[in-house]
Amino acid sequence: MVIPVLAFVGLIFIPIGLACIVSSNKVVEVVYRYDTKCVPGNMLHNKVAYIQNASIDKTCTRTLKIPRDMKRPIYIYYQLDKFYQNHRRYSTSRSDAQLREPKAAGDVAEFCKPEAFAANGRPIVPCGLIAWSLFNDTYSFARRNRLPRDGDHGPPPLTVSKRGISWPSERGHLFGKNVFPRNFQNGSLVGGGQLDPRKPLSEQEDLMVWMRTAALPRFRKLYGRMEADLVAGELITVTVRNSYNSYSYAGGEKAVVLSTAGWLGGRNGFLGRAYVVVGMACFLLALLLTLLCLVFPMKEEHLLLR
């Protein structure tokens, strides 16, 4: 009874695992960590001062080499480490009602502490720590392989679309079409990025992505999408405007990621390997049990009385 089940599980799992591995291997991924590399050498000892100094221009441009062909769409992610979006104090600090409808703009005191009211005593929209700490590094990309000719202004840009990076339900229901940012980021303490007060929240997809709090302290979030094919060996430049403070806390890595996606999503070798391992284990056990049954067949004298 058990042996066929095990064998069957093995039979199913190994192909699934192999399919997963194949799919995962097809995904091309370029990760560039820039949190230290984009800090000038003289400021490395005091990165917090660097990031907090508004007068320093924090743009930094680097060149990346594409290892394999990347078919469109190419997804751009930012990746943070040791950033506890799952901290209870953080992840609960928001007001869902306020994001949805203008009526509930004042519905902040209960949920949004300590970022509920602006200095003038008016409620902040969107309130809470999550929105307040909105990620605000920006990236722009360009191909490097076509050298600038005369008349050209730098490398040809690769446009990054920020539309459609959030879930449709967020745009449609959770973030109101007539809810506009108010009193946002105008306190004494400025956290992260600014929001365009003229755009309703339903169009602020960066905010939507950010506000879906990540489960783990290391996470990637979708930055945008690039509708272009890149070929192996191609060089692209990435221009990072490094303004988000990941330097206050230890291990605050930042990276920009370019990745394609397969049917399973991103590059995820673990799932496939796990399937194969479990499948193999089942197979082996089935084999072992079969042997056991052959060596020690079910004896009639088994009815032991205890």
Please give the residues from 106 up to 135 whose contact with another protein meets the rule CB under 8 A.
Answer: 113-115, 129, 132-133
CB 264 within 8 A of CB 95: no
| DSSP string across 121-149 | SPBPBS-SHHHHT----EEEEEE-SS---
DSSP state of 73: P
Count the site residues for another protein by CB under 8 A. Answer: 85
The tokens describing 98, both together, are 């306020």
By beta-carbon proximity to another protein, the closer residue of 45 and 302 is 302
CA dist 214 and 13 (Å) reads: 29
By beta-carbon proximity to another protein, the closer residue of 96 and 152 is 96
Residues 185-224 that bind another protein (CB under 8 A): 189, 191-192, 212-222
Residues 76-105 that bind another protein (CB under 8 A): 77, 79, 83-92, 96, 99
Residues 32-51 that bind another protein (CB under 8 A): none
For the four alpha carbons of 230, 234, 239 and 240, in that order, the dihedral sign comes to positive
CB atoms within 10 A of CB 196: 11
Binding segment for another protein among 6-14, 59-67, 136-144, 153-161 (CB under 8 A)?
6-14
By beta-carbon proximity to another protein, the closer residue of 50 and 77 is 77
Q: Is 9 in the site for another protein (CB under 8 A)?
A: yes
Q: Is 58 in the site for another protein (CB under 8 A)?
A: no
CA dist 126 and 145 (Å) reads: 43
Minimum CB separation from another protein for residue 148, in Å? 31
Return the residue of 47, 171, 225, 254 that touches another protein, per CB under 8 A: 225
CA dist 272 and 14 (Å) reads: 9
CA dihedral defined by 124, 128, 129, 134, rounded to 10 degrees? -60
Q: Is 22 in the site for another protein (CB under 8 A)?
A: no
Residues 241-300 that bind another protein (CB under 8 A): 245, 248-250, 259, 261-268, 270-271, 274-275, 278, 281-282, 285, 289, 292-293, 296, 298, 300
Minimum CB separation from another protein for residue 53, in Å? 15
| DSSP string across 28-39 | -EEEEE-TTTTS
The tokens describing 86, both together, are 């799952």
Minimum CB separation from another protein for residue 151, in Å? 35
170 Cβ contact partners less than 8 Å away, ≥ 6 residues apart = 208, 212
Minimum CB separation from another protein for residue 264, in Å? 5
Minimum CB separation from another protein for residue 165, in Å? 8
For the four alpha carbons of 127, 131, 136 and 141, in that order, the dihedral sign comes to negative
Residues 141-170 that bind another protein (CB under 8 A): 165, 167-170
**Could you tell me how many residues make up the chain?**
306
